[in-house]
């Protein structure tokens, strides 16, 4: 749209704002058109149980990638996934409202990961621990749960691994969240007498804390959000928590980004009863129990070497049944439906006392939630 230079700046501004309003109404019309199509898709899914699930992670990823590739205008490419995540979330709520369990209270990092994956139109339920999230999904209280699985500096979250040992739930998807810890308090630094934090957050900020608050009492709480809640109501108290927690509980950030390692990322997994279809960029997670004898683990993993399958992660955990008996949590590149993976798994089972597949799903780490715009990352 070109406006005559003879018009005044006020008139040109008014015309441009009218054009924006008109464009917004056109966008709203298209959003409602999209919603009608989604409702029809939902009706088909309800009529035919084989037609598909209401939450399909790889389908959403395909939409993001297609739109990013098609963007040739001025709209920031990096903003497309965030905008369409909310559009998809709102439309999906018309098909069926999703109930999502996460480690509460609201504003925790787990809550942030859940919002990143499902958008704000899902219904979120906070739980006091990962075991409670597993139970909620198992009992049908929630469609899916979001649990922390691994941190880039502190390693695997053992509570999550232990829950997978006993549960029949699968890993359906994953999400990566960059973790930035904020030091919150309503008191000045010299008046702080105690710091509330979750154990993982403390471990990730320990060097900074020892340098700046070496003589202050540390109290572990069930989540970083609980710490922010305590700091909001107690004089002389501080917390290590997220930006979201600082906003929600109205606690000032005295020191931002106090994590010891700048590249501090936590991997979250989405748990449920569903299995994801192959995408071509997948990983598979499993738990195996091998005999307690020399070479047992080597023999079990040899089929993957022969099949050219890359193992990306191995962790051990006690079986909790026999002393010095261990289970191994293993991840590798590929999907359980691939022929080479099927062959490797079949041979693996002959070397193990037990094999439990936890899921095959899109490998988000290959793309690292890079907002699908490599040219803008960094």
Domain ranges of the chain: 18-93, 182-255, 282-362
Task: Specify the pLDDT at position 223.
Answer: 87
- Measured CA to CA in angstroms, residue 37 lies from 23, 33, 92, 348 at distances of 21, 7, 11, 45
The per-residue pLDDT for range 204-251, each reduced to its tens digit, is 999 999 999 999 999 999 889 999 999 999 999 999 999 999 999 999
Taking phi over 0 as left and psi of -120 to 50 as alpha, with beta for the rest, 236 belongs to left
Residue 270 has pLDDT above 80, yes or no: yes
- Kindly state the average pLDDT of the residues 257-281: 92
Residue 1 has pLDDT above 60, yes or no: no
Task: Specify the pLDDT at position 174.
Answer: 96
This prediction's pTM: 0.85
Q: Alpha-carbon distance 4 to 15, whole Å?
A: 11
Question: What is the overall mean pLDDT for the chain?
Answer: 90
- Residue 376 DSSP one-character state: G
- Kindly state the average pLDDT of the residues 333-355: 95
Percent above pLDDT 70 for the chain:
94
Q: Alpha-carbon distance 217 to 234, whole Å?
A: 14
Task: Specify the pLDDT at position 374.
Answer: 37
| Residue 204 in tokens | 């990730």
- Kindly state the average pLDDT of the residues 160-173: 94
Report the CATH fold assignment for 182-255: D-Maltodextrin-Binding Protein; domain 2 (3.40.190)
Residue 376 has pLDDT above 60, yes or no: no
Strand positions, DSSP E, 179-262: 182-185, 194-197, 217-220, 237-241, 253-255
Residue 375 has pLDDT above 80, yes or no: no
The per-residue pLDDT for range 87-104, each reduced to its tens digit, is 999 999 998 889 999 998
Q: Alpha-carbon distance 368 to 104, whole Å?
A: 25
Q: Alpha-carbon distance 166 to 162, whole Å?
A: 7
Establish whether domains 182-255 and 282-362 are of one fold.
Answer: no
Task: Specify the pLDDT at position 52.
Answer: 62
Q: For 282-362, which CATH superfamily applies?
A: ACT domain (3.30.70.260)
Check residues 53 and 166 and name the one with the higher pLDDT: 166
CATH ID of 18-93, from 3.20.20.140, 3.90.1480.20, 3.30.420.40, 1.20.59.10:
1.20.59.10
Q: Alpha-carbon distance 96 to 38, whole Å?
A: 11
Buried-state track 38-64, b at ≥16 Cβ within 10 A, e below 16:
beebbeebeeeeeeebbbbbbebbebb
């Amino acid at each position: 749209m070109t406006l005559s230079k003879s018009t005044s700046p006020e008139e040109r501004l008014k015309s441009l704002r009218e054009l924006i309003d008109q464009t917004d109404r056109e966008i709203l019309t298209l959003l409602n058109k999209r919603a009608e199509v989604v409702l029809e898709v939902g009706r088909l899914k309800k009529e035919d149980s084989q037609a598909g699930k209401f939450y399909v992670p790889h389908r959403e990823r395909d939409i993001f990638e297609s739109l990013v590739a098609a963007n040739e205008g001025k709209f920031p490419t990096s903003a497309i996934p965030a905008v369409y995540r909310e559009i998809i979330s709102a439309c999906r709520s018309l098909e069926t409202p999703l109930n999502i369990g996460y480690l509460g209270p609201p504003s925790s990092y787990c809550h942030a990961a859940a919002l990143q994956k499902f958008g704000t139109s899902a219904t979120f339920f906070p739980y006091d621990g990962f075991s409670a999230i597993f139970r909620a999904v198992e009992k049908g209280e929630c469609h899916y749960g979001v649990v922390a699985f691994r941190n880039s500096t502190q390693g695997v979250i053992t509570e999550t691994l232990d829950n997978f040992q006993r549960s029949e739930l699968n890993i359906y998807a994953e999400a990566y969240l960059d973790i930035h810890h904020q030091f919150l308090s309503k008191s000045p630094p010299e008046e702080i007498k105690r710091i509330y934090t979750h154990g993982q957050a403390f471990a990730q900020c320990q060097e900074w804390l020892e340098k700046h608050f070496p003589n202050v009492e540390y109290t572990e709480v069930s989540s970083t959000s609980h710490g922010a809640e305590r700091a909001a109501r107690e004089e002389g108290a501080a917390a290590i928590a997220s930006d979201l927690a600082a906003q929600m509980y109205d606690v000032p950030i005295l020191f931002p980004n106090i994590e010891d390692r700048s590249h501090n990322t936590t991997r979250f997994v989405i748990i449920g009863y569903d299995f994801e279809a192959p995408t071509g960029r997948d990983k598979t997670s499993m738990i195996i129990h091998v005999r307690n004898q020399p070479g047992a683990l080597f023999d079990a993993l040899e089929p993957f070497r022969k099949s050219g399958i890359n193992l990306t992660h191995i962790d051990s955990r006690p079986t909790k049944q026999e002393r010095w008996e261990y289970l191994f949590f293993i991840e590798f590149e590929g999907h359980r439906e691939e022929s080479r993976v099927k062959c490797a798994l079949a041979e693996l089972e002959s070397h193990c006392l037990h094999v439990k597949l936890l899921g095959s799903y899109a490998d988000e780490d290959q793309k690292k939630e890079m907002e699908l715009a490599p040219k803008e990352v960094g």
